[in-house]
Amino acid sequence: MRISIAAIGRMKTGPERELVARYLERAQGAGKPLALTGFDVFELSESRAGSAAARKTEEAKAIRAALPDGLVVALDERGKSLASEAFANQLARWRDDGRAAIGFVIGGADGIDPDLVRAADLTLSFSPMVWPHQLVRIMLAEQLYRATTILSGHPYHRGD
C-alpha cells in the first residue's frame, strides 16, 4: 500500500524538515517488507483567496489533485484519537483489504475544507489542540515510522 502525505505549506530547510525526512526514510526501510511503500510528501502552496472558506476550497482541490486514488485520512483536531498500536493495526487492515493507497491530509492555517473532511475515510486527531503544519508533519512521520516498527515487531515501540 502506497502512503502519501499532502500538506498545505512548505517547510523551510532546517531541523524540522530533516526530522520529517529521517522518520519517513526509516518508515520506507521498515515498511518495504510489510508492503507499505512510498511515504511521499506533496507540499502544496497556501491559497491566496480572499476568504478562509475560499482558501480551504482551493487548497482542497490541490490536495485532491496531488493524492493518488485511495483512502484519505484528514488530520484535524476534531477527529478520532488513536493509540499508536491501533493506528498501526488500522494501516495493516487497510493493506490487508487490498487498498492500494492512502493519503494523509494536513491543512493550512485555516484548516481543511469541511467537504474534504466529511469525505475522508478517517479523520484523525493528534490532540484537541491546534498544531502548526510543521509539527503535525513531524508527528505524522514519526507515527508512520512507529506503525512500521509495531507491525514488524521492532523494539522501537515500547508502549504498554
Binding-site annotation, residues:
75, 107, 126-131
Residue 140: in which H helix or E strand, if any? helix 133-152
Q: Which residue has the cell 502544496?
A: 44
CA atoms within 13 A on the CB side of 12: 1
Task: Provide the β-strand partners of residue 43.
Answer: 7
Beta strands 2-8 and 122-124, pairing class:
unpaired
CB of 73 closer than 8 Å to CB of 140: no
| Known binding-site residue numbers for S-adenosyl-L-methionine | 75, 107, 126-131
